[in-house]
Homo-oligomer: A and B are copies of this chain.
Amino acid sequence: DRPFVLIAGPCQLESREHALETAAALVEMTAKLGLGLIYKTSFDKANRTSLTSARGIGLEKGLPILAEIRESLGCATITDVHLPEQCQPTAEAVDVLQIPAFLSRQTDLILAAASTGAALNIKKGQFLAPWDMANVAKKAASTGNHRVLLCERGVSFGYNTLVSDMRSLPILAETGYPVIFDATHSVQQPGGQGATSGGERRFVPVLARAALAVGVAGVFMETHPDPDAAPSDGPNMVPMRAMPALLETLVAFDRLSKANPIPTL
């Protein structure tokens, strides 16, 4: 029944300065609200819609920056891994390894990530039912590592659209693992702009409020000082200046929700 943790940051690690600045801003913001923060950014966008989209600065340049953020700002950090061999070095630089949704069924990646002992945030595949994640979590747990977060980020609904099924949250929670709601990827329109993914930022607060009213352990929300100029996921990221007010409301919903657990009917 503690306040939700915020997993936030810009989709891509654009530069050391950009990362440190956004992290510092988020640390300050969450401290004021008494929220835990896990700073999120990606050194490699390994599954862009199109080859010509920017992928990022890469693991070798990215990990030292992530390590610096953790050390200098004292905040927890998370980044995604795409291949088993990335898990060990990444686990040395960050606190939480994220398994991308498309890779949520790749046994070797999950085992390699879990074997590092780091916490995992496993995104639910857009092609999975919520109850399918119990088997996914078991793969991680088989290594003895039970520090697993399960993350809802929308399910395929026709072509180029996702829908967020709020029933998914209590179903995922039945595994016993904390549940995260990813409010920005859930509003993506995959491939919806031809060579890039679209998104509908305006629905981020809609879905985040709904998820907190249902009850989650954390909220994942990508944010950027200037989303429309971001190299990826611009259409669905939250402008950083809008974060404080949005978070304040979410904190209120979280409190109300945790004070009133869902009844058994």
| Interface of A toward B, CB cutoff 8 Å | 46-51, 55, 82-84, 102-103, 105-108, 125-132, 135, 138-139, 142, 155-161, 163-167, 169-170, 187, 190-191, 195, 200-207, 209-214, 238-239, 242, 245-246, 249, 252-253, 256-257, 260, 262-265
Q: List 29 A-B contacts (CB under 8 A).
A: A49-B132, A49-B135, A51-B135, A55-B107, A83-B83, A102-B103, A102-B105, A102-B125, A103-B103, A125-B127, A128-B190, A130-B159, A131-B191, A132-B160, A132-B190, A155-B156, A155-B159, A159-B161, A164-B167, A166-B210, A167-B187, A167-B206, A169-B206, A205-B263, A210-B210, A210-B214, A212-B213, A242-B263, A245-B263
A260 near B252 with CB under 8 A, answer: yes
A257 to chain B: which residues have CB within 8 Å? 209
Report copies per complex. 4
Question: Nearest residue in B to A246 (C-beta to C-beta)?
Answer: B263
Complex Cα–Cα for A165 and B206 (A)? 11
Contacts of A264 in B (CB 8 A): 202
A202 / chain B contacts, CB cutoff of 8 Å: 170, 264-265
A99 to B197, CA, bound (A): 22
Assuming A129-B160, A205-B263, A209-B214, what are 17 further A-B pairs, CB within 8 angstroms? A46-B106, A48-B107, A49-B132, A51-B107, A51-B138, A102-B102, A102-B106, A102-B127, A126-B156, A132-B191, A135-B195, A158-B161, A166-B210, A167-B203, A170-B203, A205-B265, A253-B256
